[in-house]
Structure 1
């Protein structure tokens, strides 16, 4: 029976934008009609699930740790631009000592919870004490209209011009011992730093970086446990005795001396009419393992990592593939370093810190002098070399060709060029002293 041409035409003909079409293939597909509201609604559940997977699963833990180390590494270097060398060194040492204890925990919160909050608390002696807060301490349940265009959304207060003016902070993080149920405290925006990667315009709170892979991570962990149980069962070889004559094959109640237990090297004689077969519970494990590797690749892609970074499996990697994958990851990590760590944390914290020290009389308060203290550069942590010999040779060639400066190359290694030059000067002086003594 031939199909009518109209039916065939409807099946194969495509027109318009398929992404906006309908039909059976789109039934049940998820959609984000209002991403600002939907991401805000999903924030709490995804944060809690990401925290559980970070704590309980190897891959969830690996994703958070790999990204955290990439964002802050062994620490950021601060390069004040003050004209006096001693002042630069004192400012750098003091600021790094203040921020270093916060950095790793803050980076974990950004990746795992999707956001991090640092409250800028001024102690009685005038010292700035940054305090890292739990994400849920910014009251996510507080949403109301304040009139005249002002409003509070998930604990963050906006004015009529859509500028953040305050944060409503609970006295204790939910779930802490001796938690007191009191109204949140209104903290001015100048006293709070909020770090998160904004996915959509108008997004108010951050979404866990594990959100694209949370469900797959859970299923992957359960599948791994199921395979492990299958392997354990496979080690328990089970035998089945069949009777071809339809009788008890000699296994009667009075036959108590018959021994059919399995032992290494044992040979057993069965009664007439009995045959033995064994279960094979380990079949298909090789295919399952390869399927899990495919799942690992999807998880790595969703988490923004390479397969090797996620799993530690370097069996299929070579120099070229490892370098290409690492370079792509570094580009995204450097963008996150610049937009999250430097722009949303270090720079506003530096300005606030110098202003408070000026108010306390520790720094000059006049505008011209304070401008020298506000000027600063930040050096992100460097990256480990994939091939040190070739990469150093390439950097030397780029410097000689005028395509790079020494400062750019040194900064790319996570070093301060002033410190490097001082170390080289000391090495040269030591070598000259040794040569003169000889």
Structure 2
């Protein structure tokens, strides 16, 4: 029986395996057993430097950063909505207005109260934080007390490569460890950061000093368990972008050669008269200008060089690669590449909605990890300095707030307003929610309406009538009547 089974099934042992784990000569897939921090120790500085180079020199990445700035920060930045309460728990409109006014003064670009070097206000510093987060994958914000400032605190973005990524200790005296310049306790909570002084033009040359974790805000997206340093958002696309850049450059050079219409002289006979014109290798070169015509030297035949470039498939191939790159950074191809050819309303709306979710995710992350701690510092030091008249016992009530980030207009206002009207009729939304969703403070909007009515009344002007309600979808009344009967 055993021999019969061997004849039928063979002697080779068969195993059930996952195709995803197969190793073949056609797949070059080098894998190691390093944990994420072990991989970062090897690759982090190279990834960051490459991402920075692309941010400086690659048109796609510079456009991507401009896109992110416009849509995440916007022209007005993050707008504060104070939700201050009085002792009874009721909204304190007067105190909320005072906090909002003081915050706008603190964030203004005119006085530059935010940055440690006194060169940036709120919005410009937020742009620096966002760009650093996208390019480096992380941001280290140093909280630096400033007694000379009425708001008591300034901030400095520490260069990510100045946080000593080469400093590693497997086990410290307290049972913790140091990973890429960050001291961790036994539960992997950061205790301090080791930073190199930035006094020269080169990294890893300054004196190393230690900053307690209470003075540093470390912003990064943790994508793997135990990860202690950030990963650039461009990590998956860096090589594709660099290779696509070189391919585009090669096509441009080839196209220039074709446009130049170069010629060569092929020797077909004997001519002793070119000896003085030839170089040491026997080559003869003449400059040719557009429109020039002449005779080939005796014994030579002129031949034209006509490179077939740009390649007819260049555009389609370039677009296909860009689609993958755009997807890796979380944007639609049309938005990332600025290519709106052959799009219709439905596809453009779907892509825009997906892009907006990417922007909103970044906005929520920045608000939670950066703007909220900044507001807490602002309020605490404003009370301490007397810029805001309040007691420390009131801080928990005054700290209530929300930030309204940049929001987006409709793709097709008429269609989307009709849909919004239907949501109102079905009680699926309300005016306050929609005002906040648009990035505005409901208190401010209603105050403006009140001022508008008062100004019209003071001048004896009629108040503009409200817009007529949106028409309901047309319905054949006869059909309804027949259905009811």
Shorter-chain TM-score: what band? 0.7 to 0.9
- Mapped to 1, the partners of 2:15 and 2:353 lie a distance apart of 39
SS at the partner of 2:194?
Answer: strand
**More divergent stretch after superposition (357-366 vs 399-408):** 357-366
Taking the aligned partners of 1:226 and 1:92, their CA distance within structure 2 comes to 55
What are the equivalent positions in structure 2 for 1:338-377 lying under 5 Å apart?
A: 338=364, 340-360=365-385, 362=388, 364-367=390-393, 369-377=394-402
More helix by share: 1
- Deviation at residue 60 of structure 1 after TM alignment: 1.8
Q: Is the 8 A contact 2:258 2:308 kept in 1?
A: yes
Note the C-alpha offset of 1:191. 1.9
Farther off after superposition, 167-176 or 97-106: 167-176
Match in the other structure for 1:91: 99
On the 8 A contact 2:255/2:309 being kept in 1, the answer is no
Q: CA 1:121 to 1:6, structure 2 compared with 1: closer, same or farther past 3 Å?
A: same
Deviation at 1:356, TM superposition (A): 3.4
8 Å contact 2:331–2:358 — kept in the other structure? Answer: no
Which residue pairs with 1:313 in the alignment?
A: 339
Matched, 1:123 2:146: yes
| Cross-structure match for 1:426 | 451
Alpha-carbon distance, 1:409 to partner? 1.4
Between the aligned partners of 1:48 and 1:400, the Cα distance in structure 2 is 54
Deviation per residue, 1:166-212 (Å, 9 max, x gap): 222333266379x983231x322222111111111211111111111
Normalising by structure 2, what TM-score? 0.76
Equivalent position SS for 1:211: coil
Instruction: Please say if residues 167 and 187 of structure 1, whose CA atoms lie closer than 8 Å, have aligned partners that are also in contact.
Output: yes
Task: Supply the distance in 1 between the matched residues of 2:64 and 2:447 (Cα, whole angstroms).
Answer: 38
Helix, strand or coil at the partner of 1:282: coil
C-alpha contact 2:255 2:310 (8 A) present in aligned 1: no
2:132 aligns with one of 105, 109, 119 = 109
Q: CA offset at residue 269 of structure 1?
A: 11
Cα distance in 2 between the residues matched to 1:224 and 1:384 = 35
Paired residues of 1:158 and 1:166 also in contact (CA < 8 A): yes
TM-score scaled by length of structure 1: 0.84
Say whether 1:23 aligns with 2:24: yes
Mapped pair 1:381 → 2:406:
yes
Q: Deviations over 1:267-319 (max 9, x none)?
A: 98999x99865332134622123211211112111222221222212112222
Report what 1:76 is aligned to: 78
Partner of 1:150: 176
For residues 56 and 111 of structure 1, the distance between their equivalents in structure 2, rounded to whole angstroms, comes to 16
Q: Does 1:165 align with 2:191?
A: yes
CA shift for structure 1 position 364: 4.0
- How far has the Cα of 1:358 moved from its partner? 4.1
Q: Work out the CA distance in 1 between the residues paired with 2:199 and 2:8.
A: 66
Deviation at 1:227, TM superposition (A): 0.9
Find 2:247's aligned residue among 208, 223, 231.
223
CA 1:375–1:436: 2 relative to 1, 3 Å: closer
- Looking at structure 1, the residues matched to 451 and 33 of structure 2 have their Cα atoms a distance apart, in angstroms, of 60
Distance 1:208 1:292, change over 3 A: same
CA distance in 2, matches of 1:49, 1:242: 45
Once the two structures are superposed, the pairs formed by residues 146-225 of structure 1 within 5 Å of their partners are 146-172=172-198, 175=201, 181-184=206-209, 186-225=210-249
- Map of 1:278 onto structure 2: 304
Structure 1 unmatched ranges of 5 or more? 255-260
Q: Does 1:136 align with 2:161?
A: yes
1:111-156 CA-partner distances (Å, limit 9, x unpaired): 0111112111111247111222221232222222322322222222
Q: Which has the higher contact order (CA 8 A, sep 6+)?
A: 1
Which of 424, 428, 432 is the equivalent residue of 1:407?
A: 432
**Contact 2:326–2:333 (8 Å) recurs in 1:** yes
Aligned-residue offset at 1:363: 5.5
Deviations 1:342-396 (A, max 9, x none): 11111222223333344445554444x1111121111121123322222233223
Does residue 234 in structure 1 map to residue 258 in structure 2?
Answer: yes
Q: Distance in 2 between matches of 1:213 and 1:310?
A: 13
Q: 2:320 aligns with which of 291, 294, 297?
A: 294
Post-superposition CA distance 1:19-76 (Å, at most 9, x none): 2233334444456752232134322111111111110110121222222333322301
Counting matched residue pairs gives: 417
Q: CA–CA distance in 1 between the matches of 2:205 and 2:174? A: 32
* Secondary structure of 1:23 counterpart: coil
